[in-house]
Amino acid sequence: MSPEDYHETVILLLERRANPTAVDVDGKSLSYYAYHNRTWPGSMAGDIWDSALVRCGYDLWDFRRGYPRRPNHNEGYRRENFEGFWLGHEHLCPYYDAQDAFYFDADADADGGGGHDEKSCLRCKEIKETG
């Protein structure tokens, strides 16, 4: 399946009332798995999840809290894929124009947390204030 196929599948599941706040027996959410995915290239899993949530009317901030980060594009996941996911909703993507990792601490991911100090992150404050 292409990245676009995965994107459409997640949208379909959400439209069919899949619960985006579901957690597993360990208490880990779908968002946790999307944002900590190391199997798919770059930031594709998180970007697919984010754009699908927004397209289905969910408030991204409710899911992104504690997980802000920048897009990570590479050979397997191109910027063009990312732009396609967000087409028409670019203004709702907090990292659409991000050039560097100014609000993501990858080193903190190993402990299972989001690795992010939301209170001291200026980008998070900006996102929250501007919606």
Across 26-41, average pLDDT: 89
Model confidence band, residue 125 (pLDDT cutoffs 50, 70, 90): low
Q: Half-sphere exposure of 31 toward its Cβ, with a 13 Å CA cutoff? A: 21
More confident residue, 61 or 17: 17
Rounded distance, CA 57 to CA 64, Å?
14
Give the pLDDT confidence score for residue 121 in this predicted structure.
Answer: 53
Whole-prediction pTM: 0.74
Question: DSSP assignment, residue 74?
Answer: B
* Average pLDDT of the chain to the nearest whole number: 78
Taking each helix axis as running N to C, give the angle between helix 44-55 and helix 79-86, from 0 to 180 degrees, rounded to the nearest 10.
Answer: 10
pLDDT tens, residue by residue, 36-80: 888 888 889 999 999 999 999 998 878 887 776 667 888 888 889
| For the chain, domain boundaries | 3-130
Over 70: is that where the pLDDT of 17 sits? yes
Model confidence band, residue 111 (pLDDT cutoffs 50, 70, 90): very low
Give the pLDDT confidence score for residue 128 in this predicted structure.
Answer: 58
DSSP bridge pairs for 23: 29
